[in-house]
Structure 1
Amino acid sequence: MADIFREIDEELQQEKAARLWKRYGPYVLAVAVLIVLGVGGYRFWLSYDAKQKAAQSARYETAARALAEDPAAAAAEFGALAQDGNKGYAALASLQQAAALVEAGDLEAAIITYKKLADDTAVPAVFRDLARLLAVTHRIDSGDPTELSREISALANTSGPWRPLAREAEALIALKAGDKSKAREILETLTADAETPAQLRARATELLSAIASE
């Protein structure tokens, strides 16, 4: 992570938030997936009998192993599990399907998958909100800042588990739009908030330093 922070100033000078997100976005997504697995996965794992769990777990693991070598195939496997798995596995599989599509270079299909999950009221809120967050963060490079700000505001202004990441995304969107003042305000709030995860606070601090040095 230290190398990433040292590059932040250079990235801000070149493409501001777009390239910056490309640098450390995967770390944010990795943290998000771990939180989802911890918050939701185990609870859903307990809700079905052992045979169902074993079969769906095997399918999930097979798709996960395929991800590194063939993201497109992994996306197809996760998509199939999302269609006929139980609620817990279906939601996790949808998230992984979208992540695999990103790896396969099909960002448009990934965004559609995230949005579909975010709009599915049958899915627990923790998964829907994460899907909404990821749908926005993957479009910081190319999306309209006004639209992205509107989409992320609901998560950024609640007390849900994704609030700090949503606030960070808001700051990146503001930087992409050229609004350094708004970005600075958001980042300062994050650094001052005791509930902000340490790694995220470190990123916010580095971003503030980079903005100040411009």
Structure 2
Amino acid sequence: MSNENIFREIDEELRSDRMRAMWRRFAPFVIGGAIAIVVLVAANEGWSWYTKSQSSQASQELYAALDTAGRGDLAAAQTQLDQLAADGSGGYPVLAEFRKAALLAEQGDVQGAVAAYDALANSQSNMRLRELALLLAGNLLVDGGTLAEVEARLGTLATDDSAMRRVARELLGLAQYKAGDFAAAEASFQAVLDDPLATSSLRNRMAYYMAQMLSEGTVSATSEAEAAPAEDQAAEPVAE
């Protein structure tokens, strides 16, 4: 093996390590919005189905499975969710399928979880649930898949008319960074910075990514200078 190939492999490994460190640090914030959507959907739909239904059996089964998973008994929770997905009424089977996919990820079966989310995305008539399934699949693939796999799930969510564009663009940017496509990663992060609906915490994360890339020499100082004012503007208090 030539020295050039050795240095290239070392560089790729170091970049992968940095990527994993960045992702572990910011993953809770990135997927926080997606989790909030799941909670809101579960609460709203659960209450609606509960009030319209003659029986609360499905509701009780779902929350029992969630409690079981919360106690760490994932195998038992999986069994309960399988039963609910097969026999539940209303929209509870869909919620059970989402939680089953999450359990697979928690058990380390990333490919199984991605396949479950893909199946949900392909079967959902509700556009928001379909987008959520794609987002959660793409999130898992940032660290456990290829750039092409992430783009296949998030490409349609990163458009200007998508409500989930900011999270989708951040995930795409991280996947592009990991793949070594730094120009694309910079463009994705900058698109989030330029989004007028981006929160200050989200802008701060983008600025951190850009600063990290600047320190590595993978983006220009001009790009970092453009990102800084966006961060400063987001941090300014809004006049009452």
What SS does the corresponding residue of 2:123 show, helix, strand or coil? coil
In 1, are the aligned partners of 2:169 and 2:191 still within 8 Å (CA)?
Answer: no
Q: Is residue 2:37 matched to residue 1:35?
A: yes
Q: Relative to 1, partners in 2 of residues 1:156 and 1:114: Cα closer, same or farther, differing over 3 Å?
A: same
What aligned pairs does 1:137-156 form with structure 2 within 5 A after superposition?
137-156=139-158
How has the CA–CA distance of structure 1 residues 23 and 87 changed in structure 2, closer, same or farther, with 3 Å as cutoff?
farther
Q: Kindly, what percent of the aligned residue pairs are identical?
A: 31
In the alignment of these two chains, the number of paired residues is: 202
Question: What residue ranges of structure 2 are gaps of 5+ in the alignment?
Answer: 1-13, 217-240
Q: For residues 188-214 of structure 1, what are the alpha-carbon distances to aligned partners after superposition, in whole Å with 9 as ceiling and x for unaligned?
A: 221221212333222212111111111
Residues 4-15 of structure 1 mapped to structure 2, 5 A cutoff: 13=15, 15=17
Deviations 1:137-167 (A, max 9, x none): 2112232212322331111115233211111
- Structure 1 contact 45–88 (Cα < 8 Å) conserved: no
Q: TM-score, normalised by structure 2?
A: 0.74
Structure number with greater CO (CA < 8 Å, separation at least 6) is 1
**Judging changes above 3 Å, is the alpha-carbon distance between structure 1 residues 154 and 105 closer, same or farther for their aligned structure 2 residues?**
same
- Partner in structure 2 of residue 114 of structure 1: 117
SS in 2 for 1:161: coil
Give the aligned partner of residue 222 of structure 2: none
**1:82 and 1:17, CA in 2 relative to 1: closer, same or farther beyond 3 A?**
farther
* TM-aligned CA deviation for residue 170 of structure 1: 0.9
- Is it true that 1:75 corresponds to 2:78 in the alignment? yes
Is contact 1:40–1:126 with CA below 8 Å preserved after alignment?
no
**1:131 — aligned with what?**
133
Cα pair distance change 1:116/1:14, threshold 3 Å: closer
Please name the residue that 1:163 is paired with: 165
TM-score w.r.t. structure 1 length? 0.82
- 1:78 and 1:30, CA in 2 relative to 1: closer, same or farther beyond 3 A? farther
Aligned alpha-carbon RMSD (Å): 2.5
Aligned to 2:100: 97
